[in-house]
Amino acid sequence: MTAQSVRLSAAESALDPAVAARLKRDADGLVCAVVQSRAGEVLMVGWMDDEALHRTLTTGRGTYWSRSRQEYWVKGGTSGHVQHVHEVRLDCDGDAVLVVVDQEGPACHTGTRTCFDTDVLLAGDGA
């Protein structure tokens, strides 16, 4: 087991306690992170615990908790498709964050620009 795969508890994280107190985490201690380009395009959704949010805020790189791999991952760490974080906002309920980024290359693990460009379930008629 690597140091990357050990998830830190909220108490162990260096996240600002004032920010941590505002977070409403799910049963797994995570908040939804909606990732949007600076141009306004929704790129992906990830999950953050306190430590992933702290790392994102302090490094300026999108850092998430992988629920499938059970480890922290920095977007672009292996693919080179880096997210340069421009802004992070906490929603009014404290149960989600908006991460505004400059995305290099595709955001989706499938190689597409966004995770939301494959299946359109309802398209407006332009009216």
Domains of the chain as residue ranges with CATH? 3-103 (3.10.20.810)
Q: Known binder of ligand: residue 115?
A: yes
Q: Known binder of ligand: residue 108?
A: yes
* Consecutive H or E run containing 84: strand 83-90
Q: Known binder of ligand: residue 93?
A: yes
Beta bridge pairs of residue 83 = 103
pTM metric for this prediction: 0.88
pLDDT digits (tens, 9 = 90+) for 68-88: 999 999 999 989 999 999 999
What letter represents residue 121's amino acid? L
Is 70 exceeded by the pLDDT of residue 127?
no
Q: Known binder of ligand: residue 92?
A: yes
Q: What is the pLDDT of residue 9?
A: 73
**Banded pLDDT at 8 (limits 50, 70, 90):** confident
Q: How many residues does the chain have?
A: 127
Identify the CA nearest to 36 among candidates 80, 83, 94: 83
